[in-house]
Amino acid sequence: MQTMAPIRPSQASMRFPAQANALLLSEAAPRAGTGQRPLLDGLTEREIALVMEKGRRRVLYRGATLFTQETPNDGIWIVESGRIRVFYAAPSGREITLAYWYPGNFVGGPDVFGTGLHKWSGMAASNSSVLHLPGNALRQLVTQIPALAIGVIDGLTFKGRCYSTLAQMLGTRSITERLAHLLIHLCDLYGVPEDDGTAIATTFTHADLAHMVGATRQWVTISLKRLSEQGVVATRRAQIVVLRPAVLAQMRGGEDCA
């Protein structure tokens, strides 16, 4: 049986780095210092202790469900470690990924006070630890801690931009353009320079990529093979290496990544 050591973050560890961000299929790629501000950023040690007292920690194995669309919502989950994937599953079984959320982000909106139904589903994309704040507890905390209230507002604003951008991407760009944009986006976030290109240092399966661009796994596999034959990308040790980013930028209809 698989085991995972329990994760017990200290109060200090809840001061997440300022660059904590989601991986988004969006125009505004989360670079260092941008994106969703960590929810507990700016809170004092005492205020963090109050939040921790009201929360309940859950440890999730990779693939475990955190919440499901169309089920009652009750508050939010602060990501302490790991990576949470938020997505929508159609009755046909097709899925579209909104984002991968990292430590410092929170998931569970838009009804953060627990008065509605989940619009998306959430699952652990890797072994993760989350802190659940029930809606009533969160409502009480934001009246006591102004910095927390601002963090919740900032987070919901950022998520609103994500929804808007995703709708625009799906409605105005072809699947090929979205795949080119995603590869540049991953190059920007996780790129490691190599002699002949830039390796994407984080592994995503073809199914992961398909869920982010609204395609099938088979289509992504065929497209990556075609790009490889054209010398645009290469696959090495289960990683994608971008060899000709200018070609991808041209395919997506935008500027090359820095």
Question: pLDDT per residue over 95-134, tens digit each?
Answer: 888 888 889 899 998 889 988 899 899 999 999 999 999 9
- At 60 the pLDDT is 96
Burial-class residue 7 by CB neighbours within 10 Å (0-12, 13-18, 19+): middle
- At 35 the pLDDT is 56
**In the chain, where the domains are located:** 14-172, 175-252
Domain 175-252 CATH assignment equals 1.10.10.10: yes
- CA 171, chain centre distance (Å): 21
Could you give the 3-state DSSP secondary structure of residue 84?
strand
- At 258 the pLDDT is 29
Closest CA to 89 of 113, 111, 65: 65
Q: Is the pLDDT of residue 49 over 80?
A: yes
* Rounded Cα gap, residues 99 and 102, in angstroms: 10
For 23-33, the pLDDT digits (tens) are 665 444 444 33
- At 256 the pLDDT is 36
CATH number of 14-172: 2.60.120.10
- At 25 the pLDDT is 55
- At 32 the pLDDT is 38
